[in-house]
Structure 1
């Protein structure tokens, strides 16, 4: 009996290269083929194992190559990143050093500014104290100045009173022309004869000429030209009587005579009025000039001098007002 070693259908046996079979073909070869001997299975398994190992080795090598390339790429990228990071750190370090230097400079400037500020505050405090002390001194000086002005005013008034008392026996004659080699005693005797006054040599203490005083009113509501009397280069004649009584009698005779002129003294030239009055101090002359102007403005009928005192009276029926100083003038406005 012939034993048939090939399967029906003309198949010649297992495929010589199992790695070229598909999975289904591979399983068909395994399941359809009759297992004849253990050695054949071992051979097939060995072939499969080898093919599998080769395939896995190829895949491992490919994976190894891919991993190496990836490692190289990562390493290169990391190195580049590290280099960039190091460069950034270096720049940051430089900037930090610069900033630290600037901060130190700023601290030094701040210390300097703080010192200057402290010095300024100290100077300001000192100036404030000096200012307060100066204010106190100024207040003290102002008080002292007020007291000094008050004392000066009182002393001036007292001196004016004394000066006027020293002139109480004096008469002042203005309007008499001055001639070379003149004899003022003769001029006075001529005036006494014209007014009908019996003048003796014992009545006169002395007689002389003085510069005529030009009065100027203080700055007030009066006009400037009204505050200044007519200036004259001719010195006035001052007569000092030995007795106050005789002076008053002489002045009363002058006022009774009225209208005395240079023609009455036989003086050559155009006739001009001669004025004889009490010899006032410069201060009282100013007050008298103001009283005359103010009295005329306010309609006072009488303004006169009596024994070196200034009087005003509004009318014949009103009382006379004594003017001692400028305050009295302010009260009659």
Structure 2
């Protein structure tokens, strides 16, 4: 590996290109020891660089041929004294160099230049960094904006759909309320029609079943027991009906349709009188000559399914509130607290809840 080039003046390593070579002694000097600026060095031609002489060689050039011995001796003394002076403290310029305007940069100015260059570079770097970050942020904002626009479109679609569904639901709700009202009115009308269709009917519960039974004969025998005059022509129809619950062990009820509501009321009155006269032996299966276990027989009006449920709930509520009387008249349910209170008609469960 080649040894580094050394400046003959300051004994420091020379730069790669910015140095001068003496045309006479071939010594190498950096620009400071050669008393040259970088601007001057770059503007010099090759001819000037090849003919350049170092300060040391320039100091040995004689002034003229006519100089006397004393002058030469004095000049040699000056040259000898010059050799003892450091080259950096008193550099000697050639004629061309002395005519060049060389400006030295002071420390404060150099620091200001470096600071300005550093600030400029830092400012540019910061601008580039900020610009890059802002570009990334803008891209993210654009993506967020696209997502928000998509969500907003979906929201508007859902909102419109919800408003449409709300309108439909509101219309259906109104229609449902109207239908409920109509159904209730129709139910009341149907209940009234059923009451009218059953105003001549009586219902007999607890009558034991037999395969060979004759319900007409049984009904005639029952009328005789309660002392009511009933002929076969007064019985328009008699039959057993299906149970409400198949799991029930009770016999099926018997429905009897008489000629008129007046006959029905007279028959029920006769049964009521018989039970009052025979408190200990109320109407039962043994009165009808039916063998087996004795079971009570109940004769009542033929109620609609709705009134049957309401009658059962009324009897339960009256028992809880110590009401003495619960009865049915012409398909309507009545209650009375005691003998001194007024009778109340139970039309629905809402009326039943008002009892106290």
Report if the CA contact (8 A) 2:206-2:250 is conserved. no
1:6 is matched with: none
1: CA distance, partners of 2:87 / 2:326? 148
Q: Please state how far the C-alpha of 1:150 moved relative to its aligned partner.
A: 2.1
Mark the structure with the bigger radius of gyration: 1
CA contact (8 A) 1:212 1:232 kept: no
Query: Residue 129 in 1 paired to residue 155 in 2?
Result: no
- Name 1:256's counterpart in structure 2: 273
Which residue matches 2:350?
A: 327
Question: What is the rounded CA distance, in whole Å, between the counterparts of 2:206 and 2:88 in structure 1?
Answer: 150
SS of structure 2 residue aligned to 1:158: helix
Deviation at residue 124 of structure 1 after TM alignment: 1.1
SS in structure 2 at match of 1:303: strand
Partner of 1:226: none
**Offset at 1:244?**
1.0
Residues in 1 aligned to 2:213 and 2:193: alpha-carbon distance in whole angstroms? 32
Counterparts of 1:305 and 1:193 in 2: how far apart (Å)? Answer: 24
| Cα shift readout 1:209-239 (whole Å, capped 9, x = no counterpart) | 002346xxxxxxxxxxxxxxx9444210000
* 1:269-280 equivalence runs, <5 A: 269-280=292-303
Query: What's 2:211 paired with?
Result: 180
Q: What whole-Å deviation, never above 9, does each CA across 1:152-185 have from its counterpart, x for those lacking one?
A: 2222122112112111111000111111121110
Note the alpha carbon deviations across 1:272-309, whole angstroms, 9 max, x for none.
Answer: 10000000001000111111111122122211112222
| Distance in 2, Cα, partners of 1:55 & 1:210 | 156
Distance of 1:171 and 1:50 partners within structure 2: 168
RMSD of aligned Cα (Å): 3.4
Unmatched tracts of structure 2, length 5 or more: 1-66, 94-116, 276-281
Q: Are residues 1:290 and 2:313 paired?
A: yes
Tell me, yes or no, if the aligned pair for 1:303 and 1:313 is still in contact at 8 Å. Answer: yes
Q: Secondary structure at the match of 1:331?
A: coil
Query: Residue 151 of structure 1: CA displacement?
Result: 2.0
- Report the TM-score, using the length of structure 2 for normalisation: 0.63
Q: Does 1:312 align with 2:335?
A: yes
Q: What is the match of residue 13 of structure 2? A: none
Distance 1:138 1:196 in 2: 63
Partner of 1:234: 251
**TM-score normalised over the length of structure 1:** 0.67
- Structure scoring higher RCO (CA < 8 A, sep ≥ 6) equals 1
**Which residue is 1:243 aligned to?**
260
Instruction: Report SS of the residue matched to 1:189.
Output: helix
Distance 2:249 2:192 in 1: 27
CA–CA separation in structure 1 for the residues paired with 2:92 and 2:269: 153
SS in 1 for 2:353: helix
Give the corresponding residue for 2:143.
112
Q: 1 or 2, which has the higher helix percentage?
A: 1
Q: For residues 80-159 of structure 1, what are the structure 2 equivalents within 5 Å?
A: 100=132, 107-159=138-190
Quote the Cα distance in structure 2 between the aligned partners of 1:192 and 1:290: 30
**Per-residue deviation, residues 57-85 of structure 1 (Å, max 9, x unmatched):** 67587879999xxxxxxxxxxxxxxxxx9
Cα deviation for residue 43 of structure 1 reads 3.7
Cα distance in 2 between the residues matched to 1:158 and 1:303? 25
Q: Is the 8 A contact 1:203 1:241 kept in 2?
A: yes
